[in-house]
Amino acid sequence: MFSRRQFFKTSLAGGAAALVGNTLKAAENPGNSQATSMLAECEVPARKGKSVLGLRTKPLKTVRIGIIGLGARGGGAVDRLSQIEGTEIVALCDINPDRVTGAQNTLKKRQRKEAASYSGGEAWRKVCERDDIDLIYSPTPWEEHTPIALYAMDCGKHAVVEVPMCLSVADCWALVDKAEEKQLHCMMLENCCYDFFEMATLNMARQGLFGEVIHGEGAYNHNLTAGKFKSYYKHWRLEYSKYHTGNPYPTHGLGPIAQIMGINRGDRMEYLSSVSTDQYSLAQWAKENLKDDERITQSQRYKLGDMNTTIIHTVNGHSIMVQHDTSTPHPYSRIHYIQGTRGMAVKYPAQRIALETVGGGEGFLKEDAQKELLAKYEHPMAKYIGEQARKVGGHGGMDYIMDWRLIYCLRNGYPLDQSVYDGAAWSSLVELTERSVLNKCVVAVPDFTRGEWENFPPLPVIDMKDVLHGYPDQILR
């Protein structure tokens, strides 16, 4: 495994070598030399176990779950998971014992058995060590995700963690290596892949309505400034903002776009370039709202630029733009814009679709036509479980669809929709964007699949009759 320092050393050496070696080629093909030199730098460590792309595991009649982290997100997960058939919540764990009591009350309300209670800093290890658990589900703060997932897999459990899966490229590799070594699932809980419009556009893309999808845009533009100062365990979001820039939260916008564009399955992210504005809004908010608070003295210390914009190039010659802004006032947006050779769709600020087949794609579909189209291309999974999901809730239902699908796949031994490679590639942007911003350079994205992306078709849209009566083999690949 490369340390960050080793990586930079290798980068410089590799970059210079590649430039020398490519002098003639660059002259014939001006503009190509710099990118070629950066791509030559991306070291891929040797594989330690078999690939887990398309991993099938032993079907579990009941999925026995240990939930670690019972804050805003974990509390909701307890409620959702206890409403899914085939689950048993065996253990509940949080540093704070009151959170555990709160979650036990949720189980009682849902007429579920009381779970074993764990509290305190290292109690999560005891949960992982239990021999009556199949799945560790961890909505903890960012820095806890990697140690918990690694230890869970060491203890023979499938591991799912909240977004982002991890904060560094080294941790991405560690999680990929561990999943391959143990042949277990390690999934990032990217719920936005299961929102209704995102799933419908995935279905439309697979049915060819957009032609070749050449470009996508996603974002996490959500003003969390006040919340950063007031909530979260030990203000973990604010703490991160003090020391880092780039895009620390890239996966909500990127995940659904990456699935549509076949990232890690037929294509992969090759290199990126990222820029951040300076930081203004956190300091402004601190000055105006924390007058007598000691944090006023820190009001100039935040490193996280207000707006980060990243452009990614894929091996197949497509592009993706990802944005992050959790500081300035604006309506919530994940953008979700996909552009194909035969049409486009965008979700924020308003859902709009334009297709070549209707008016040559020069105007958006009229409201009724769009409604009809979205109904026709509703994702079969949304059709099957959407009503229940809307009832249970969790970001309008997408959280429930994600959990339901995860449990469904584990109960049947099916591959998960999001592999460890997806979690790694999408989360690697946390470090790669920061590196690009600080060094003012193009950065290569590692191939976490180690070449396997070429052997898998893009994530298919599963017909529910296949789901209910067994997948055809080609889908399981």
Ligand X SMILES: NC(=O)c1ccc[n+]([C@@H]2O[C@H](COP(=O)([O-])OP(=O)(O)OC[C@H]3O[C@@H](n4cnc5c(N)ncnc54)[C@H](O)[C@@H]3O)[C@@H](O)[C@H]2O)c1
**What residues make contact with ligand X under the rule CB under 6 A?**
68-74, 93-96, 99, 121, 124, 139-142, 144, 162-163, 191, 232-233, 395
Whichever of 94 and 447 has its CB closer to ligand X, that residue is: 94
CB of 13 to ligand X, least distance (A): 36
CA 278 to each of CA 129, 309, 327, 352, 407: distance values in angstroms, whole numbers, following the listed order: 45, 12, 12, 32, 42
Whichever of 314 and 326 has its CB closer to ligand X, that residue is: 326
What is the maximum alpha-carbon separation in the chain? Answer: 72
CB of 246 to ligand X, least distance (A): 16
CB of 117 to ligand X, least distance (A): 12
Residue with nearest beta carbon to ligand X: 71
Half-sphere exposure (Cβ direction) of 294: Cα atoms closer than 13 Å: 0
* Residue 275, helix vs strand vs coil: strand
Whichever of 152 and 475 has its CB closer to ligand X, that residue is: 152
Q: Which residue type does 429 have?
A: L
CB 245 within 8 A of CB 276: yes
CB 32 within 8 A of CB 103: no
Whichever of 47 and 235 has its CB closer to ligand X, that residue is: 235
CB of 236 to ligand X, least distance (A): 6
CB of 330 to ligand X, least distance (A): 18
* Residue 182, helix vs strand vs coil: helix
CB of 68 to ligand X, least distance (A): 5
Q: Which is nearest to 313 in space by CA: 259, 342, 274?
A: 274
CB of 138 to ligand X, least distance (A): 8
Return the structure tokens found at 402.
């994600």
Euclidean distance between CA atoms 276 and 156, whole angstroms:
40
CB of 389 to ligand X, least distance (A): 14
CB of 259 to ligand X, least distance (A): 15
Beta pairing, strands 319-325 & 337-340 = unpaired
Whichever of 123 and 441 has its CB closer to ligand X, that residue is: 123
Whichever of 120 and 359 has its CB closer to ligand X, that residue is: 120
Beta pairing, strands 63-68 & 87-94 = parallel
* Residue 320, helix vs strand vs coil: strand
Please state whether the peptide bond connecting residue 164 to the residue before it is cis, i.e. omega within 30 degrees of 0. Answer: yes
Whichever of 232 and 471 has its CB closer to ligand X, that residue is: 232
Whichever of 140 and 281 has its CB closer to ligand X, that residue is: 140
As beta bridge partners, residue 339 has 215, 344
Q: How many Å separate Cα 182 from the centre of its chain?
A: 22
Euclidean distance between CA atoms 417 and 388, whole angstroms:
20
CB 249 within 8 A of CB 189: no
Whichever of 195 and 270 has its CB closer to ligand X, that residue is: 195
